[in-house]
Amino acid sequence: MIILFNDLSKQIIKKIEEYNNIVIARHIGPDPDAIASEIALRDIIKLNYENKNVKAIGVGVAKFKYLGTLDKLTDEERSNTLLIMLDLPEASRLDGTKKDDYVYTIKIDHHPCDHPECDIDYIDDEASSTCQILCDIIFNNNLIISRECAEVLFTGIVSDSDRFLLSYTSPRTFDIASKLLDDYNIDLSKIYNNLYSRPLSERKFEAFITNNLTVTENGFGYIKLTNEDYKKYEVDANTASNMVNDFNFINELRCWAFSSYDEKNKVYRINIRSKDVIINDVAQNFNGGGHKLASGARLETMEEVDELFKALDERCKEYKKGDN
Ligand code: AMP
């Protein structure tokens, strides 16, 4: 099937022009691409269309505050409102609102999805990031962007492509990054500082994970992190999520997964990454999902964590045999 992204982007702009109330939302447990995309889109709509009531919502994350602030939503703002969902494979994972509350819905995403979810679905699963797709839409429609928005978009692209390392980094990714650099004079050192500076305690925690990772004969590496580990290293339960990509270039690993207990929501948060073997279908079998080589899940019991890890090890074993 040929997807006409240009046409889709025109349809999206038409809908943005049509509605005065617009809500922009993304997935729970957001990463920089999810937050950057909603903040950039909100600010770009406001810059190009004065007097629109645009809200970017969801729970804020202290670590990503430098990207901008998020908005609160009132009940009235849900009526006759356009919802734009960003970086979100499944509407059930929306943070702070429900899709059914809106008269018209649009999804803009780079996660694979084989079923329609919204009135307009702009799904480019070959794009490095949602911010890259937004740049395509913005440039195609000659929208004005500020230097701040360009920096936020660049941050989302750099973060989700893992500094242009991951496989969906394409010539288009570099074209867009280059245009943002060229046209908006963005401050790279500020962006990299915000994204990558971290306390020594996190480095020590990463060393702890390296030293304690179990690696199977099939190239599956895993660790189950506990509250005692976080306490000892003075980090929080989300910290492991931010370092899972750093295990990408370890020869002995084909696929790896971290389990971290989220005390507040009483779930085990699982981060899964792979160099080559496809993992998102395995994650989907455990009520999770994501990209082919970067997925996640939230599980209620340690038995489920063990089952998921067993299934991932089995997937690595099949791949080794050449069955995948
Ligand atoms: P993470 O390890 O949290 O960075 O997530 C990696 C990818 O998996 C992201 O694209 C997430 O949107 C996706 N993902 C994480 N957790 C889930 C889940 N419970 N259900 C569906 N997709 C998920």
Q: What does the alpha-carbon distance between residue 270 and residue 257 come to, in Å, rounded to a whole number?
A: 7
Tell me, what amino acid is at 4?
L
- Average pLDDT of the chain, as a whole number: 95
125: which DSSP letter? Answer: T
Query: Which CATH architecture group holds 2-195?
Result: Alpha-Beta Complex (3.90)
Considering the chain, what percentage of its residues have pLDDT values greater than 70?
Answer: 99
Q: What does the alpha-carbon distance between residue 43 and residue 56 come to, in Å, rounded to a whole number?
A: 9
291 lines ligand 1 (CB under 6 A): yes
105 lines ligand 1 (CB under 6 A): no
Q: What does the alpha-carbon distance between residue 257 and residue 244 come to, in Å, rounded to a whole number?
A: 8
pLDDT tier at 220, thresholds 50, 70, 90: very high
What average pLDDT does the segment 227-246 reach?
Answer: 92
Dmax (CA) of the chain: 60
For every residue of 295-307, DSSP letters joined together read: EEEEESSHHHHHH
In sequence order, the β-bridge partners of residue 24 are 56, 84
31 lines ligand 1 (CB under 6 A): yes
């003075």: which residue's tokens?
234
Residue 288 CA, closest ligand 1 atom number: 20
Per-position b or e across 12-40, b if 16+ CB within 10 A of its CB: bbebbeebebbbbbbbebbbbbbbbbbbb
Q: Which fold has domain 201-323?
A: Diaminopimelate Epimerase; Chain A, domain 1 (3.10.310)
Give every strand in the sheet of 289-290, ordered side by side: 214-215, 220-225, 255-262, 267-274, 294-299, 289-290
User: What are the pLDDT digits (tens) for 269-305?
Assistant: 999 999 999 999 999 999 999 999 999 999 999 999 9
Taking 3-state DSSP, the helix, strand and coil percentages for the chain, each rounded to the nearest 5, stand at: 45, 20, 35
In this structure, the residue with its CA closest to atom 22 of ligand 1 is 289
Q: Is residue 240 within 8 Å of 270, Cβ to Cβ?
A: no
End-to-end CA distance of the chain: 24
Q: What does the alpha-carbon distance between residue 62 and residue 239 come to, in Å, rounded to a whole number?
A: 13
In this structure, the residue with its CA closest to atom 11 of ligand 1 is 290
Reading phi first (left if > 0) and then psi (alpha if -120 to 50, else beta), residue 163 is in: left
58 lines ligand 1 (CB under 6 A): no
> Among 284, 295, 304, 308, which residue has the most ligand 1 atoms within 8 Å of its CB, making it the best to mutate?
295
User: What burial class does residue 145 get, using C-beta atoms within 10 Å of its C-beta: 0-12 exposed, 13-18 middle, 19+ buried?
Assistant: buried
pLDDT at 323: 53
130 lines ligand 1 (CB under 6 A): no
110 lines ligand 1 (CB under 6 A): no
Distances (CA, A) of 302 to 216, 225, 229: 19, 12, 17
Pairing of strands 214-215, 220-225: antiparallel
User: What are the pLDDT digits (tens) for 161-201?
Assistant: 999 999 899 999 999 999 999 999 999 999 999 999 999 99
């939503």: which residue's tokens?
73
Residue 87 CA, closest ligand 1 atom number: 12
CATH 3.90.1640.10, the chain: domain bounds? 2-195
**Nearest by Cα to 101 from 69, 65, 77:** 77
User: What are the pLDDT digits (tens) for 81-115?
Assistant: 999 999 998 899 999 999 999 999 999 999 998 89
CATH 3.10.310.30, the chain: domain bounds? 201-323
